[in-house]
Amino acid sequence: MLHILLHFIVPLFVALLFYRSKWRYATVIMVLTMIVDADHLMADPVYDPERCSIGFHPLHTLPAIGFYVLLFVLPLIFDRKNENQSIEKILNILHLAGLGLLIHMALDGIDCLL
Ligand SMILES: [Zn+2]
């Protein structure tokens, strides 16, 4: 139960710390990345408290996590302050989604250690 709560609390704290001016927006985007757990539906059983998600579920594997790193980093490289507002908006969403996914993987990873 604490694990699920952390999936809401950690994004909220990260948003308040690093995205203060739009913390609600940032929190919503990051929390929405929990949809990544949809890959659990492919597993049998769907939920197993003893199972480590990292490296087991397709969207929790190393290649997927590498993609989340790119989502987080590339918008920073391509400067999110774009003259085209819609491009700026998309880059912001990709950046926050990447961050949310990385937080998610970190929290799931910590769960594997316990
Ligand atoms: Zn997960």
Q: How close is the Cα of 79 to the center of ligand 1, in Å?
A: 29
Q: How close is the Cα of 61 to the center of ligand 1, in Å?
A: 10
Taking the CA atoms of residue 10, residue 36, residue 95 and residue 86 in that order, the dihedral angle to the nearest 10 degrees is -130
Whether the full predicted model's pTM is greater than 0.85, yes or no, is: yes
Q: How close is the Cα of 64 to the center of ligand 1, in Å?
A: 12
Q: How close is the Cα of 40 to the center of ligand 1, in Å?
A: 8
Give the start-to-end residue ranges of the domains of the chain. 2-113
pLDDT of amino acid 29: 98
Q: What are the tens digits of pLDDT across the range 79-91? A: 767 778 888 899 9
pLDDT of amino acid 80: 67
Q: For the chain, what percent of residues have pLDDT higher than 90?
A: 79
Q: How close is the Cα of 7 to the center of ligand 1, in Å?
A: 9
Separation CA 73–CA 71 (nearest Å): 6
Q: How close is the Cα of 53 to the center of ligand 1, in Å?
A: 6
pLDDT higher than threshold 80 for residue 30? yes
Q: How close is the Cα of 55 to the center of ligand 1, in Å?
A: 11
